[in-house]
A = this chain, B = another copy of it.
Amino acid sequence: MAMRKNGCDTAERLLEVASRVFSEKGYQATTIAQVCKAARANVAAVNYHFGSKDGLYAKVWRRAFDQSLLVYPLGGGLPDEASAEEKLKALVRSHVHRVLDQGALGEAGQILLMEMANPTEAIQDEFVEAVQPLVTHTYGIIRELLGPEASDACVHFCAMSVVHQCFAFSHRRCKHVNHPFAVSVTNMKDFVEQLASHITEFSLAGIAGIRAKLSRENRV
C-alpha cells in the first residue's frame, strides 16, 4: 500500500469525508469533486477506489451502519435473560444514540433516514439485507411484550410505532433553529437519556394498552 502524499490511506479518507458529506447533503446533491477535494484526493480517486459514485455510496452506507451497530449494539450489553422491558429500553437507547450521535456515527442514522424517505437505487439490496436482523430483533421484543395473542400485523404496527419515535428527532428539519419541531438542547448527553426514557415509557404504556385491548376482545 504505497502512500504517495499523505500518511493515511486515501480510500479511508475518502470514506470518512464522503460519509460526512453524503449525510449532510444526500446522495444527489453530493458531488465527487467536493468529496475528493475535501479528502485532498484527485477527482479520479473515487472511481479508482470505488468504481463509481454509487460504489462509494454503498461502501459509505454499509460502513456507517455497521459501525453504528457496533458502538450502539441493539441489545445494549444486556444479558439474554433480561426482561423484555429492559430490552426495549436498550433498543430505544441504541437507536436514539445512533440518530443523535453528533460525530461520525450519527451519519449512519442520517443516511438511513434519507434512504427511507427517498431511496437510492444504488443501495436497494444492501439496505434490506442490513436492516433485516434489526427488524427480527425488534419483533422479538415486541412479541414478548404483546403476548402470544397478538397477530403478526399487530407486532409489526407496534414495532413501527417504537422505531419511528426513535427516528423522529433525527430529521434534519428538527435541527433547524426556529423550527416548530426543534428543541433547544443544552446538554446532548442528558437529552439523549431523557428522550430514550420518554420513548421507552410511552411505548411500554402504549404496548400495554394494545395488549389490554387484545385481551378484552378475546375475552368477549
Contacts and interface: CB of A to CB of B under 8 A. Distances in A.
A156 B50 CA distance: 43
Nearest to A26: B118
A201 interface: yes
Interface string A171-211: 11110101111010000000000110011011111111110
A176 B124 contact: yes
Contacts of A201: 206, 209-210, 213
Which of the four size classes fits the interface of chain A? 35 or more
A202 B158 contact: yes
Contacts of A203: 206
A140 interface: no
- Give the residue among A128, A132, A169, A178 with the most B Cβ atoms within 10 A: A128
Interface in A117-131: 117-119, 124, 127-128, 131
A202 B195 contact: no
Nearest to A179: B128
A115 interface: yes
Interface string A113-155: 1111111000010011001101100000000000000000110
A78 interface: no
Given A161-B199, A173-B119, A180-B135, A208 B205 contact: yes
A113 to B, nearest CB: 5
A49 interface: no
B161 A202 contact: yes
A94 to B, nearest CB: 17
Contacts of A205: 205-210, 212
A28 interface: yes
Contacts of A164: 164-165, 167-168
